[in-house]
Amino acid sequence: MKHFLSLLNTNNQSLPTTSDWQSPSCLLKADLPESGLDSNDLYTLGERTFQNGEVAFLTVAGGLGTRIGFDGPKGLFPVTPVMGKVLFQVFAEKLRALKRRYGRTFHWLIMTGKETDKATREAFRKHAWYDEAYLHIFKQGTLPAFSTDKQPLLNEDGSIVCLPDGHGGVFKALKQADLLSLLETKGIQTLSYFQVDNPLVRLDDALFLGAHLHQKSEFSTKVVAKVHPEERVGLFVQDGDRLRLVEYSEFPPSLQSARNKDGSLKYRWGNTAIHLLSTDFVQACANRELPYHVCRKKIKAWDPISKTVQTIEGLKLEHFIFDALPQANNPLLWEVAHEEEFSPVKNATGNDTPETCRRDQINRWLRWLKAADPTWLKEQLKENPEPTVEISPLFADNKDDFLSAWKRLPEKPKTLDGCCL
């Protein structure tokens, strides 16, 4: 306990001196020809890797989701605009679409915490969203929680409140659940990592996978360009020959708005938390220590005065997965369009809410429809300029697939509003 108390007093000593920071260079899809890389070759490499089943998927779903205020695992949060499918079902459909494309089932690893494990397992059992033989639900570790005046928080029975140890706990949790050896036995070299809160995540991106493998990257990340200095997103910085990611809450405000000579933001590559990780690197990380971060959260604890369990503002210790990044060789940043791939459900109000996510899903599908059939869409929008639509990943999960699937439709939907494909 002494060790943890000293950590609370020295929050995140791992942060480097900012005077050495530079903006990282980032590979853009559009720059591939100039960089001498052929996108067709990269795509083929990615496809071959999918075909060979050398990729597994990893969802971190052990968080408490306190900001959204949903009573249950966030993976069971209903997110799609018409059908109200929950996040886990959306991801399962994406992976089933991938199975259809490559003729093989992919291993799916889901990290839960002690609060979310039981309900997650029960939901998968009840709904049979994914082939059980390929589904690996495993629990992460915990760390003690404290009051804001740094006293250990207690449960009703007098034990210390212990909470999930952050998404960085994934490395040790994978090892503990013996899943690293499973990956090795199955010849899986890449883990496709994503968080539980982003239904726009693409799991079928052969080009990104090809680029990751071609660069021999140990840790690749999809990034989105930050437009306004105050956007609350983790930012990548070049720190000597190492790349690191700094959480927005820990990013020095004076650097948030630093600009290059051409007026662009100096630190503008925002983290989507969509990563490709080499399994060798994951193995190495499982034997390393990551730094601790102190996070303020709403925490349930025993209140000795009222003699009841109360939700209070407290302190929680966490490891962050991206603290492993400076150790990674050849890291790759890969820019994607924010509106196509990133709309997490984080907060009850403000940014990244269920409502913004719903709108982003609909707008993405309307953009695909516009590309597929602009005249039909225009007519439909005359009748209802703000339609609610939904397209299952099993129909299409990216624009190119949508264009082909739309062409194959024997007849077009009668009306757009409320339409589900």
| Pairing relationship of beta strands 308-318 and 293-303 according to DSSP bridges | antiparallel
CB nearer to ligand UTP: give 196 or 276: 196
CB of 369 to ligand UTP, least distance (A): 30
Indicate the residue among 205 and 318 with the shorter CB distance to ligand UTP. 318
d(CA 209, CA 275) in angstroms, rounded, equals 10
E strands along 66-179, which residues?
A: 108-112, 135-139, 142-147, 162-164
For ligand UTP, give the closer residue by CB, 195 or 380: 195
Q: How far apart are CA 105 and CA 51, in angstroms?
A: 10
For residue 196, state whether it binds ligand UTP (rule: CB under 6 A): yes
- Is residue 60 a contact residue for ligand UTP (CB under 6 A)? yes
Told to check if 416 binds ligand UTP by CB under 6 A, we report no
| Beta carbon nearer to ligand UTP, 87 or 328 | 87
| Between 140 and 353, CB nearer to ligand UTP | 140
Q: Which two tokens stand for residue 405?
A: 């699937």
Which of positions 71-130 make contact with ligand UTP (CB under 6 A)?
74, 111, 113
Instruction: Supply angle C-alpha 184, 185, 188, rounded to 5.
Output: 50
What mask, x for binding ligand UTP by CB under 6 A, covers residues 248 to 287? ----------------------------------------
The reply on whether position 234 binds ligand UTP by CB under 6 A is: no
Q: Are 301 and 153 in contact (CB under 8 A)?
A: yes
Phi, then psi, of 83 in degrees rounded to 5: -80, -15
Within positions 336 to 375, which residues make up the interface with ligand UTP, using CB under 6 A?
346
Distance of closest approach, residue 163 Cβ to ligand UTP, in angstroms: 7
Q: Which stretch binds ligand UTP (CB under 6 A): 159-167, 183-191, 241-249, 306-314?
A: 159-167
Task: Please report, as residue ranges, which positions from 128 to 147 form the binding site for ligand UTP (by CB under 6 A).
Answer: 140
Count the site residues for ligand UTP by CB under 6 A. Answer: 23
Amino acid 321 reads I
* Contact pick of 85, 94, 136, 167 for ligand UTP (by CB under 6 A): 167
CA-CA distance, 385 to 47, in Å (whole number)? Answer: 38
Q: How far is the CB of 235 from ligand UTP (least distance, A)?
A: 15
Q: Measured from the CB atom, is 61 or 153 closer to ligand UTP?
A: 61
Among the listed residues 29, 48, 67, 214, the single contact to ligand UTP using CB under 6 A: 67
Smallest gap from Cβ 290 to ligand UTP, in A, equals: 12
What residues line the site for ligand UTP (CB under 6 A)?
60-68, 74, 111, 113, 140, 164-167, 195-197, 297, 318, 346
